[in-house]
Amino acid sequence: MRFKEKTVIITGGDKGIGRAVAAAFAEEGANTIIGYHKDKSAADETVKLVEKAGGKCEAVKVDVRSRKDCENLVETAVKSFKRLDIAVNNAGVSTMSWAVDLTEEEWDFNMDVNAKGVFLCCQTQVKQLIKQGNGGKIVNIASIAAKRQAMLLSHYAASKFAVLGFSKSLALEVAPHNINVNCVCPGLVKTAMQEREIGWEAKLRGLTEEEVINEYNSHIPLGRLEEPEDVAKVVLFLASDEAGYMTGQAINIAGGMEMAV
């Protein structure tokens, strides 16, 4: 029970990686506030799952592009559970396009949710953690596309490189407050986002979905696609006391797809 009585915010906590993170925290005693964007029924399902795992959980509608919504998320955590200890900024989107055809709308959409959303969430969370005066932990969900080339995802990769640059700089500035800021970089995780991407990629490259999946698998030394739980385990480690001396790091969780740091 590493997180007994800790309050954890998870953006995009209604489904996919965020849901697995919420359930894992609940199993270890945490109270969770999950942010969801549009899918109330997915959020309700996650709340049930988390409560079954033994934790208290509240779902809050949030668009991470809105400062007011990000502030409301933190205020709700404090109102419901007295304080904030940990935040996992996981909300994210992707679209696919050849860079040569990419529209400004697609660029802005990815940058706004993935990069600006992390900035707004972190800024609001850090203000609260500094006010409380007892430190805290922030884990931002980047991507392996934050460290390397990603075909059809130039705009997404740019937004995730931004997450790393922002997180490392923030880590430096808030270290004197005993706040740790780290990132994880997942690879090819079995979620709704991946399902959408397989369809788009097949269409854009003139392949079948099966061919796309086979190509994904051929890039993964550990020989299988990633489960949301693979990500959750490392997120919990970074949010735990065991990782107290780690900050400004970006940890690959990608089955060996990328071995450079």
Ligand X SMILES: NC(=O)c1ccc[n+]([C@@H]2O[C@H](COP(=O)([O-])OP(=O)(O)OC[C@H]3O[C@@H](n4cnc5c(N)ncnc54)[C@H](O)[C@@H]3O)[C@@H](O)[C@H]2O)c1
Length of the chain: 261
Instruction: Indicate the residue among 177 and 205 with the shorter CB distance to ligand X.
Output: 205
Q: How many residues bind ligand X (CB under 6 A)?
A: 29
Shortest separation between residue 194's beta carbon and ligand X, angstroms: 4
- Label residue 98 exposed, middle or buried (CB < 10 Å: 0-12, 13-18, 19+): exposed
Is residue 255 a contact residue for ligand X (CB under 6 A)? no
Is residue 175 a contact residue for ligand X (CB under 6 A)? no
Instruction: Indicate the residue among 199 and 244 with the shorter CB distance to ligand X.
Output: 199
Shortest separation between residue 36's beta carbon and ligand X, angstroms: 5
Contact mark string toward ligand X, 122..161, x via CB under 6 A: -------------------x-x------------------
Instruction: From the candidates 36, 156, 216, 245, give the one annotated as an active-site residue.
Output: 156
Q: Contact with ligand X (CB under 6 A): which of 1, 151, 172, 192?
A: 192
Asked if 156 is an active-site residue, the reply is yes
Please choose, out of 10-18, 147-155, 165-173, 212-220, the segment that lies near ligand X by the rule CB under 6 A.
10-18
Closest CA to 80 of 61, 64, 52, 56: 56
**Distance between CA 86 and CA 90 in Å, rounded?**
13
Is residue 64 a contact residue for ligand X (CB under 6 A)? yes
Is residue 172 a contact residue for ligand X (CB under 6 A)? no
- Per residue, the 3-state secondary structure of the chain, as one string, reads CCCCCCEEEECCCCCHHHHHHHHHHHHCCCEEEEEECCCHHHHHHHHHHHHHCCCCEEEEECCCCCHHHHHHHHHHHHHHHCCCCEEEECCCCCCCCCHHHCCHHHHHHHHHHHHHHHHHHHHHHHHHHHHHCCCEEEEEECCHHHCCCCCCCHHHHHHHHHHHHHHHHHHHHHHHHCEEEEEEEECCECCHHHHHHHHHHHHHHCCCHHHHHHHHHHCCCCCCCECHHHHHHHHHHHHCHHHCCCCCCEEEECCCCCCCC
Q: Contact with ligand X (CB under 6 A): which of 189, 212, 232, 238?
A: 189
Chain residues 17-56 in contact with ligand X, contact rule CB under 6 A: 17-18, 35-37
Q: Contact with ligand X (CB under 6 A): which of 3, 7, 12, 179?
A: 12
Is residue 213 a contact residue for ligand X (CB under 6 A)? no
Q: Contact with ligand X (CB under 6 A): which of 186, 198, 243, 250?
A: 186
Binding interface with ligand X (CB under 6 A): 11-12, 14-18, 35-37, 62-65, 90-94, 113, 141, 143, 186, 188-189, 191-194
Question: Among all residues, which ones are annotated catalytic?
Answer: 156
